[in-house]
Structure 1
Amino acid sequence: MTKADEDIMMDYDSEIMDNFTNLTDDYNYTNLIPLAEQIPMLVNLTNRGPPIEFALPLLGYAMPALLVVTIIANTFVVVVLAQRHMRTPTNIVLLGMAVCDMMTLLIPSPWFFYIYTLGNYATVLGPSSTCYAYNSMNEVIPNAFHTASVWLTLVLAGQRYFYVCHPTTAVTWCTVPRVLRTVCWVGFIAFAHQLPRFLDTVFIDVRFKWQGEVHYGCQMLVAEWVTQIFTAKAYFIAYYAFKVIFVNIGPCTVLVVLNILLFRALKRAQEKRAKLLKENRKSECKKLRDSNCTTMMLIVVVTVFLAVEIPLAVTIVLHVLINAFKVQLVSYYVLNITLLFTNFFLMLSYPVNFAIYCGMSKQFRKTFKDLFIMGTFVNKTQGSSRYSLVNGPRTVTNETIL
């Protein structure tokens, strides 16, 4: 090829590149990027959450204060009940409940703060790793802790029923080691039943146009294994059916029955105590009074639990009927508002147990005062002998301490 031919070829290549550049300049590749409304299941925080006019004051403004109160109150409960002389089967369950309640609120609280307090409720979430974190911290992990709290409340009421109505059985089965194992198993099963929820959703990074600008976010899809083994509808119906039966309606029904039985047993015990008072049997009378106080306190704890759990259970049942079976009993908008308020009242109840313990338990009050107010708490050796007559052997139940 001659020099002239090379010059001609270079001019030709240059002309082609200029034409290609002009072509790409004329053609806007952003036309290939879909609009936000064209992407199904885009993780839009406004669409995924409750109506913002109700969510903002509750979750954005009231929630931070509620979180602080809950952490302080439940930390006090944990510290007091963890003391060696307070280590009884009932107190172990109450301690587990306090931890679960606190974590149910603490885990999603960064997202409440980011979305509502900081005003990011209109944001499309991304990248995909952030969406995974949001899904886990806002839905899956809090549900696991809440499930554990529900089941521990069931253990608490059942255990107290055996103490009052079947004391010989309680001595055998309601010991500290057995109750510790039960609490651990409850936590394990509660998280195991939520394990598929970590894996049933996939988030992928997407680009979309919104208000004329290109944005990045993530799209939520059902995991492939769900559609291969089941269908998405069958899988979620099975999950929510389990949740309704074993986490919501079932435990609430059993707790109502146990609470009624405990209240009847308490009335009989009060009549027995009145009889002992007439017979001047002061020692037995005092022991029965302490037992009655504990029973009454636990009845109040369970009653507060039921007062917030039953409305939540009914709301979840309606939610399942509307989504899974298209039974339009109420509008979805009203249901979302109801779900928001029932969840908020549930979280509002978390620090209440601390007030119940302080108001109804002399021993809890005294230990709290010694630890945090007077600073006169005895050392371990003194504490062990000081409370040994009250507690009895460490592996055997005794319920007069709280």
Structure 2
Amino acid sequence: MANDTAPSDYHEYEYEYYDEYYIDYLFEIFDFEVNVYGYVWPILVIFTTCCNVFVISAFLRTHMRTPTNLILVFIAISDSLTGLVTLPAVFHIFPNKNDFLTEEWCNIAMISRLYISRAFHTVSVWQTVLLGVHRLLQVKYPLAAMKFCTRNKTLAIVGVIYILSFVLHMYHAFDIKAEYGMCQWTIEEPCVWTCIYIWMNLLLLHLIPCFVLAILTFIIIRTLAKLNSNADGFRDSIKRRRKHRNFTIVVVLVVIIFLVPELPYGVFYMITIGLRHTGQDILPLRTNRLIHCLYEVMLLVSFHLNFWVYCVMIQRFRACVKSILRILTCQEKNFNRLDGDATSSSGKGFELTGVPLAVETADG
């Protein structure tokens, strides 16, 4: 069995095995991964999860429980689980640079990161697209929104997204990760099923969602601009324009937050696949892992930024967070007043950033 003090140069390490089965498997770790995944990653995951607890608690309040806000709740859940499921393997491997793993820990590490975590992230991506569809219907097609943006239909679509996302990454649940003394994902030659999975992953996790969400946002912004220009004749036109402007800012911020990590990594992923198919040299493993590490950190930061967008742009969300904080700090005497202030807002059907009900939007 491999020693706990195995040398860092794995090429000089002599594996001990019985009946051609290795006891320990090398999980190659670079120095920057020890610092990022061993220390920065757990802090970001835990902090983001704590913020998402506020998001879930606030949007599940009775007066906030709209179909669109339920999507925000599900996004917060899947965002948190994307990081949380990786923590057991992260704590086992990276802080102590434990680069020789048993077959069981190799499978735990690889499946949690490549399958479960990636599936939850895919759920978040398509829930964000669903959020964009809800916004478009509410702004441009209010009557259709009243018919299709219901709670039951939203829950059903989210359920389908979960099922399809885990089916998409099912490949990583069964392929062999611990083999020939190495713990890694290898691409077979000739590349058949693996390449099919890679292309589906590229299209369904990066390129198509980014393209669809960008188009949806562009249409929403144009529609809001027209609504603002047609609202001049109403007494509350200034108020409506302010609400539409805030809504546009939220849409733009959400799209930017979504695209900043996804779009560059999608382009990098596509270039890497193209180089491999043409038989050209791809980036060294260290460079590849560095880019992937940067992408995952930016992904976690983007998950966290959603909370601050809600805090800055949604007044009723801030009121809910304040009331929850007062409960946690045992200052419940003003809780009813804060809750009443939030529910007495003129827009009873408020979602996201003070956007009126669908019928009101059509009028304004």
- Which residue of structure 2 aligns with residue 124 of structure 1? 100
Greater mean alpha carbon deviation, residues 105-114 or residues 35-44: 35-44
Tell me, what secondary structure is at the counterpart of 1:171?
Answer: helix
Q: Does 1:312 align with 2:265?
A: yes
The C-alpha deviation readout for 1:13-47, integer Å capped at 9, x for no partner, is: xxxxxxxxxxxxxxxxxxxxx9349999984222x
Within 5 Å, which residues of 2 pair with 1:150-229?
A: 150-201=125-176, 203=178
Q: Kindly state the Cα deviation for residue 334 of structure 1 after the two structures are TM-superposed.
A: 2.6
Question: What is the match of residue 7 of structure 2?
Answer: none
AA aligned to 1:358 is: C
Q: TM-score, normalised by structure 1?
A: 0.73
Of 350, 360, 364, the match for 2:313 = 360
The letter for the 1-side match of 2:26 is: N
Unaligned runs of at least 5 residues, structure 1: 1-33, 207-216
Change (3 A) 1:37 1:314: farther
More helix by share: 1
The aligned residue for residue 97 of structure 1 is: 75
Relative distance call for 1:132 and 1:116 in structure 2 (3 A) is closer
Match for residue 59 of structure 1 among 18, 37, 41 = 37
The match for 1:257 among 207, 215, 237 is: 215
Contact preservation (8 Å) 2:25, 2:101? yes
Secondary structure of 2:69 counterpart: helix
Q: Does the CA-based 8 Å contact 1:233-1:324 persist in structure 2?
A: no
Counterpart of 1:71 in structure 2 is: 49
The one-letter code sitting in structure 2 at the alignment partner of 1:249 is L
Which residue of the partner structure matches residue 35 of structure 1?
14
Q: What do you get for the CA RMSD once the two structures are aligned?
A: 3.4
Could you say what secondary structure the match of 1:118 adopts?
coil
Distance in 2, Cα, partners of 1:140 & 1:233 = 19
- The residue identity in structure 1 corresponding to 2:202 is V
Structure 2 counterparts to residues 193-342 of structure 1, below 5 A: 193-201=168-176, 203=178, 233-273=191-231, 275-276=232-233, 279=234, 281-282=235-236, 286=239, 289-328=242-281, 330-342=283-295
Shift of 1:162: 1.4
Q: CA deviation at 1:383?
A: 10
Residue 143 of structure 1 pairs with residue 118 of structure 2: yes
Kept in 2: contact 1:144–1:190 (CA 8 A): yes
**Separation in 1, partners of 2:256, 2:183:** 42
Asked if 2 retains the 8 angstrom alpha-carbon contact of 1:44 and 1:125, the reply is yes
* Distance change >3 Å, CA 202–CA 330, structure 1 → 2: closer
Give the TM-score normalised by structure 2: 0.80
Once the two structures are superposed, residues 215-241 of structure 1 have per-residue CA deviations (whole angstroms, 9 ceiling, x without a partner) of xx676798xxx99xxx76100000011
CA distance in 1, matches of 2:314, 2:151: 20
Structure 2: runs of 5 or more not aligned: 1-12, 351-355
Give the structure with higher Rg (CA). 1
Tell me how far apart the structure 1 counterparts of residues 82 and 263 of structure 2 sit (CA, whole Å).
18
Q: Return the match for 1:390 from 348, 351, 355.
A: 348
Residue pair 2:213, 2:255 contacting (<8 A) in 1 also: yes
Whole-Å separation in 2 of the counterparts to 1:359 and 1:99: 21
